[in-house]
Amino acid sequence: MEKMKRWISLVLLAAMVLSLAACGGDSTAGSTASAESGGSAAQTGDTGAAQRLEEQKELNVMLVAGNFAESLEKIYSDYEDEYGVKINYTILGVDTYFQKMLVEMSSGSDAYDVIYLMSPQFLQYASNDWLFPLDDFIADKSITDDEVLALDGLAESSLEAQRYDGKLYGLPVCSLTTLLYWRKDLFEAAGLDPEQPPETWEELREYAKLLHKDGVAGVAMRGARSAGGSEGLIWEWPMVMYSMGGDFVENFPDDMTPTLNSPEVVESVEYYADLLQNYSIPGATTCNFEDITVAVQQGDLAMWIDGAAIVPNYINPEMSKTTEDMVGFAPVPAGPEGRCAPLNVHSVNIPKNAKNKERAWHFIQWALSEEIMVRLGTEGNLVTVARDSVYEDPAFIEVNDIGDGAWLGAMRDSLANYAMAKYRPLTPEWPEVADIVSGYISDVFAGQISAQDAMDQANEEVRKVYEEAGYI
């Protein structure tokens, strides 16, 4: 069980964000991290590291498509111009990205210097020794500018999510959750109160039935299979499962006996399948966030549940028929056990075999500095960040005061009260478990198997994974 002990503390600290207002972190936490990580040579400055930084004039960056990657793409040329560095900048869709990264990292590739991870992938990558620890870099002041890095200004819980076995392996970009969005104009046309969203999952289904007409889908949620344990249905279906009283295991992390075939879990699968099969967009059972975004932009959705950070794409007047004044924002509906929302820390990391580690570290400091993050939120569309000071910046507030503060209020409410610290039973085996579970649920969507039979088989396969890992 030693393997379990190493990541239990990480899991318990990593995922809980009590509120965005509390995400500024503790200055002592940043100081302690630097003090603990620095060896004697690092504390005095490794002149070799500084020299390597100057020699590294090329940087290979691979990021997941999303607000951070797209926003950074607009301004990374400023870094190239200032430091005389050529950046090879690549963005891939989430499914393709994590398939490629799994091959690259497991083969020991040195093709990329900066990569992008989410909570489920981080533990897998760190436990497999695929990432480069940053502690010595942070302690080496020849390549670290403490004012730019401002480690104590990063959300403490998000920063802790990047620690594994006592070492820091990345820096957080943001902490994400989901929200319920709805079209106020369509509610009003259907005789519903435009200011009152459905409070429960059963109400959501009733609203979806009423709104699903005239070429407009009642509701959309992600239906695609898992991509490395994070995206697709495995990001959203669990919040239904938890709120209905189900769970992946008996008592994470103390009892890892899988409970995926319990009546509550089966009911949640049946419910989710019903929504996607009968009241959602075309292709809903294989859709991801990109598909939902397109449906919103085309004006073809009455309600949808998806990431809080995607909101700029929904209401961009140059791209979308759905405008800001049409949309309402709220935490996700409740089940018998209350509201349960997902939580995911996104980060930038350096692969262990990266060729340009010092340059990667320098670029990461620049990209996650307060100045640049404000620019990403004003010149780009990054609306969720890991630095609380950015939320207080007047320019950021002016650009991102969405719905007269309703969006930010709903996101803070979700993160403070409903985002789950243990939304996934995070172990290094989680991506494999997520693939098994989402695969069987996809078979239910396709009508190939009943929910009960699917979850019976999923439960047995997950049991074998945990037995082989020594958890049960």
Does residue 66 sit in the same domain as residue 143?
yes
- What are the pLDDT digits (tens) for 129-186? 999 999 999 999 999 999 999 999 998 878 888 999 999 999 999 988 999 999 999 9
Is residue 462 assigned to a domain? yes
Is residue 19 assigned to a domain? no
Cβ neighbour number for residue 45 with a 10 Å cutoff: 15
Is residue 17 assigned to a domain? no
Last residue of one domain, picked from the residues 378, 393, 414: 414
Does residue 288 sit in the same domain as residue 356?
no
Measured between alpha carbons, how far is 126 from 105 in angstroms, rounded to an integer?
11
Contact (CB, 8 A) for 367 and 348: yes
Contact (CB, 8 A) for 351 and 115: yes
Measured between alpha carbons, how far is 334 from 349 in angstroms, rounded to an integer?
35
Last residue of one domain, picked from the residues 373, 393, 414: 414
Does residue 189 sit in the same domain as residue 321?
yes
Measured between alpha carbons, how far is 461 from 16 in angstroms, rounded to an integer?
29
Is residue 4 assigned to a domain? no
Contact (CB, 8 A) for 361 and 439: no
Does residue 441 sit in the same domain as residue 405?
no
Instruction: Decide: helix, strand or coil at residue 458.
Output: helix
The phi, psi pair for 162, rounded to 5°, reads: -100, 10
Is residue 93 assigned to a domain? yes
Burial class (CB in 10 A: 0-12, 13-18, 19+), 333: buried
CATH of the domain at 288: 3.40.190.10
Q: Structural domain of residue 252, as residue ranges?
A: 178-342+421-469
The number of helix segments (H) and strand segments (E) in the chain equals 23, 14
Structure tokens at 27: 């200055």
Last residue of one domain, picked from the residues 414, 439, 455: 414
**pTM for the whole structure:** 0.75
66 Rama sector, left if φ>0, alpha if ψ -120 to 50, beta otherwise:
left
Does residue 111 sit in the same domain as residue 167?
yes
pLDDT tens per residue across all 472 residues of the chain: 433 433 333 333 333 333 333 333 332 223 223 323 333 333 344 569 999 999 999 999 999 998 999 999 999 999 999 999 999 999 999 889 999 999 999 999 999 999 999 988 898 899 999 999 999 999 999 999 999 999 999 988 788 889 999 999 999 999 889 999 999 999 999 999 999 999 999 999 999 999 999 999 999 999 999 877 778 999 999 999 999 999 999 999 999 999 999 999 999 999 999 999 999 999 999 999 999 999 999 999 999 999 998 999 999 999 999 999 999 999 999 999 999 999 889 999 999 999 999 999 999 999 999 999 999 999 999 988 989 899 889 999 888 889 998 998 898 889 889 988 789 998 989 989 999 999 999 999 999 999 999 999 999 999 999 999 999 9
Structure tokens at 466: 């945990």
Cis status, amide bond into 253, omega within 30 of 0: yes
Does residue 60 sit in the same domain as residue 150?
yes
Is residue 87 assigned to a domain? yes
Does residue 382 sit in the same domain as residue 264?
no
Is residue 249 assigned to a domain? yes
Does residue 271 sit in the same domain as residue 387?
no
Does residue 160 sit in the same domain as residue 286?
no
Does residue 365 sit in the same domain as residue 445?
no
Does residue 293 sit in the same domain as residue 403?
no
Structure tokens at 150: 């401002």
Residue 332 is given by DSSP the state: P
Is residue 192 assigned to a domain? yes
What's the domain count of the chain?
A: 2
Cβ neighbour number for residue 470 with a 10 Å cutoff: 11
Does residue 330 sit in the same domain as residue 372?
no
